[in-house]
Structure 1
Amino acid sequence: MYLPDDYLYSQKRYPVLYMFDGHNLFHDEDATYGKSWNLAWHIIEGKKDMIVVGQECSHHGNDRLNEYSPYPFADAELQVQQTGLGEKTMDFFVNELKPYIDAHFPTLPQRETTWIAGSSCGGEMALFAGMRYRDIYSRSLVISPYLIPTADYFLMEADQTFFDQPSFFYMSWGALEGNGKHAFVQETTICTELSNRLQEHGARIFFHVKPEGEHTESSWEEEAPLFLDFLFYYE
């Protein structure tokens, strides 16, 4: 977790950003590939009053892929076939994690100040959460989402999702992710079509397409000032 230094005595209450892959957020020594998002530094530098809750995932085999997919999928390149346990993951987020955080920390628990974020499979989950659990989360950071194997499911979900309250999605991806330009074209097509359908149903989308963007923590850290500003931007 990230907590403001003065949270115990400031008498303030804070918005909360829930994030996937918590081990990659704050410290290089905890990160899977030795590089974190360095998120606490960017929050302090940007003078953002907020709490961040980073949920840990399984590091056993390909369990993370299963935990962080709301739909069944197969990926020939990764040689995996998963049933998708993402709905169970979100059940934990909504019915166990959020109530615990609100009970033990000085949060602003209402929808307008409850947000969710992730990258790669975590970005896929942040998108799903912003759609399926739109009564809980008002803003979703969907960063480099791993959508190609589950695109058809997401398009069907988008067709059935209607937003009756303001819902905001930060959608970013990079040209240097995946294997060559074909993957970038696929990702761009999916993200654009999904966003179009969500906008038709009342969502608001902020796009950030990165010409030099890679599928790495270093690349995601570079956009931290932008997505943190997005969370605090109110029309």
Structure 2
Amino acid sequence: MIEKKYIEMEGIFSGSRVVNIYLPNDYHQRRKKYPVLYMFDGHNLFFDEEAAFGKSWGMKEYLENNDVQLIVVGIQCSFEGNERMSEYCPYDLENYYGEFIKGKGNEYLEWMINVIKPMIDSEYRTKTDRKNTLIGGSSMGGLMAAYAGIKYSDVFSKCACLSSSFELCYDKFMEDVISSQPRKGTKFYMDIGSTELENEYRRVEYTSYMLEICHKLQSKGCNCYPRLIPGGEHNEASWEKQVPVFMEYLL
């Protein structure tokens, strides 16, 4: 089942957000506690009618049909101008159109950790330790999930990073990877689709970014599963097909 909460943003953020919370089939029949997966772009996860482009990840069906013992918290992004990219990037940068983007990603993660996680832990039966706290997303959300794994591995131990937008800030991100000390054993699932980019050189370049990041993380004692997906695209229909793969790896 899915429960909804409406959260008012504060500080440098604006507006209110919908938080979709998936509860396992047996949540109300048992007294057990569950791991929690926090995900970006929460409106795209469960229902086609709520998804930005009319197609969701189909996670509700996957979780129910496979009786996955996991709470999933999907937080809606901002739809105001470039705010999604601003919230989902830890660095100041220019976007694909040359527009300046003020990076609020680190503050956004601190909001998730200091506001959203305590709320979920207080209102639901959760396993609160890092071993049972996961984070995931795609595109800019994938970048944020990876950043959370290197900067906040004391909170998140498992990260699903699909089609991550490393190309926008590869040098800065790699600097953070090199200087960071993520906890050993932190798990990263990373992928990129073979048809996400029409230009062959860029496909190779972006795949190289992902592999170099995985290599550096593994040298620090992390566990990484990098994948190049034949025919994979940069959309929800493609990411839906990867749900069973990253779930099996992370769990």
TM-score range normalised by the length of the shorter chain: over 0.9
1:217 aligned onto 2:217: no
Asked if 1:158 is matched to 2:177, the reply is: yes
Q: For residue 249 of structure 2, what is the aligned residue in structure 1?
A: 230
TM-superposed deviation, 1:4: 1.5
1:111-150 per-position Cα deviation (integer Å, ceiling 9, x unaligned)? 1010000000000000000100000000000100011110
1:203 equivalent in alignment to 2:219 = no
Offset from partner CA, 1:201-226 (integer Å, 9 cap, x none)? 11110122101110000000011111
Residue identity (%): 38
- SS of the residue corresponding to residue 30 of structure 1 reads coil
Deviations, residues 61-105 of structure 1 (Å, cap 9, x unaligned): 111000100111113x33422121001110111111111100000
1:180 maps to which residue?
199
- Which stretches of structure 1, 4 residues or longer, exceed 2 Å deviation after superposition? 77-80, 162-165
CA contact (8 A) 2:25 2:67 kept: no
| Count of aligned pairs between the two proteins | 231
Q: Deviations over 1:14-58 (max 9, x none)?
A: 000000000000000000000000101111222211100001110
- Structure 1 residue ranges without an equivalent (≥5): none
Q: Which has the higher strand share?
A: 2
- Per the alignment, in what secondary structure is the counterpart of residue 14 of structure 1? coil
Change beyond 3 A, Cα 1:66–1:164: closer
1:50 to 62, 70, 76: 70
Q: Which amino acid aligns with 2:40?
A: F
Counterparts of 1:223 and 1:205, CA distance in 2 = 15
Q: Unpaired runs of 5+ in structure 2?
A: 1-20
Q: Highest relative contact order (Cα 8 Å, sep 6+), 1 or 2?
A: 1
Report the TM-score, using the length of structure 2 for normalisation: 0.89
Corresponding letter in the other structure for 1:40:
K
Alpha-carbon distance in 2 for matches of 1:216, 1:186 = 20
